[in-house]
Amino acid sequence: MSPLKRLVDYLDVRLGVRELVRQNLTGYLVPRRANFFYTLGAVLLALFSLQVVTGILLLIYYRPDAANAFASVQYIMNEVPYGWLIRYVHVVGSNIIVIALLLHMLSVLFMGSYKKPRELTWLTGFILFNLSLALCLTGYLLPWSQLSFWATTVATDAAGAVPVVGEMAVQFLRGGAMVGEATLGRFFALHVMGLPLLLGAVIGLHLFLMRRVGISRPPFGPEYEPPAPLLSFRHEEHPDGIPFFPHYVAKDLAAIFFFLAALAWVVFYAPALFIPPAALEPADPFVTPPHIKPEWYFLWAYQTLKIFPSKVIGLAVQGAFMTLLAVLPFLDIGPERRPAHRPLFVTCYFLGILLMVAISIWGHYS
């Protein structure tokens, strides 16, 4: 008997691993028509894991205090063997994660997969999106460059527009009147411990909900019919589906390697894409560099604040948009998921995307 079979027998007697594998891998059937967009969850899991690994590696050399942070990042980039590679993978990886998150959310919206009984799955996904953006924001300050310092100054300043408690909120975020040593300490603690723990917990809940409710059938093809109203809990089965392992895992792996290839391409051929010149100078609290802009995924928020005459209105519009997105499954309660049968939603969907892209481009060139 081979050692592998003996090990599996040993575990099977104690934990019933063969049954576990059958239930969750080989006997777990997923929709036959599941497309590329269904792999984005696995892609995100892989990318988040890469961020954890590269983040832990960077922690070995990074020094989280204002006097040494910039120099320690320069040391990682110039002195530590392959330090540049680890840092670039971490920086570019965060941007690729935002792209994958946006594609994941946009595909869920387009296919109406957020609808009953998946409202809570959508809500936890929305929280994950916000936690990821918070991780990006807190990580942005850590290199303590001119770009980090002033982008954080502008970003935290936006909270000051909230009536009554705004000024206090800004001071709480910064740990003082201005961005400084206290801000770095707070953001570092949040970036390496607080937010990742929270993110891990919410990812666990998101996966539990996805597995418990079952994967939604893609709303395409002549055989698709809107389901009958759901009156009690029912796990969505796909008796005509394909096994999760090895068929679907192969699809997941193909998508993961596609994203890793894109990441590698940027790291090796366009490493400066997400690191503008202001990121190469140490932070100077007395000199604001011209034309400081936030990261591309915050440009829409940055420009919205500039469009409206009052910051309060700009912030309220942003808040209203994000709230609408969060509670969409509780407002859009019709059972129809086929895009061709939801012309109003699909029109708003594409106009919304166009508007966000246009505002972001405007913000970039303004």
Partner 1 sequence: MVNDSLPPNQRRFFLTIILGGLSTALAVVAGWPLFRFLSPDTGGADVEIVEIPRASVDVGGAHFLTYRGRPVVVLQKSAGEFAAFSAVCTHLGCIVKWVSDPGEFLCPCHAGRFSTDGAVLGGPPPKPLEPIPVVLAGDLLRIG
Residue from 55, 64, 83, 314 binding partner 1 (CB under 8 A): 83
Under the criterion CB under 8 A, does residue 55 sit at the interface with partner 1?
no
Of 85 and 198, CB closest to partner 1? 85
Residue from 20, 59, 60, 312 binding partner 1 (CB under 8 A): 60
Residue length, the chain? 366
Query: How near is the Cβ of 82 to partner 1 at its closest, in Å?
Result: 4
Of 9 and 79, CB closest to partner 1? 79
Contacts of 321 (CB under 8 A, 6+ apart): none
Under the criterion CB under 8 A, does residue 77 sit at the interface with partner 1?
no
Under the criterion CB under 8 A, does residue 85 sit at the interface with partner 1?
yes
Whole-angstrom CA distances from 125 to 6, 105, 201 are 41, 8, 12
Under the criterion CB under 8 A, does residue 173 sit at the interface with partner 1?
no
Binding track, positions 7-46, relative to partner 1; x by CB under 8 A: ----------------------------------------
Q: SS3 of 15, please?
A: helix
Query: How near is the Cβ of 158 to partner 1 at its closest, in Å?
Result: 37
Query: How near is the Cβ of 342 to partner 1 at its closest, in Å?
Result: 42
Alpha carbon distance 31, 326 (integer Å): 26
Alpha carbon distance 269, 277 (integer Å): 17
DSSP summary character for residue 165: T
Under the criterion CB under 8 A, does residue 56 sit at the interface with partner 1?
no
Alpha carbon distance 298, 123 (integer Å): 21
Helix (H) or strand (E) holding 29: strand 29-30
Beta bridge partners of 56: none
Query: Which residues in this chain contact partner 1 in the complex, by CB under 8 A?
Result: 57, 60, 80-83, 85-86
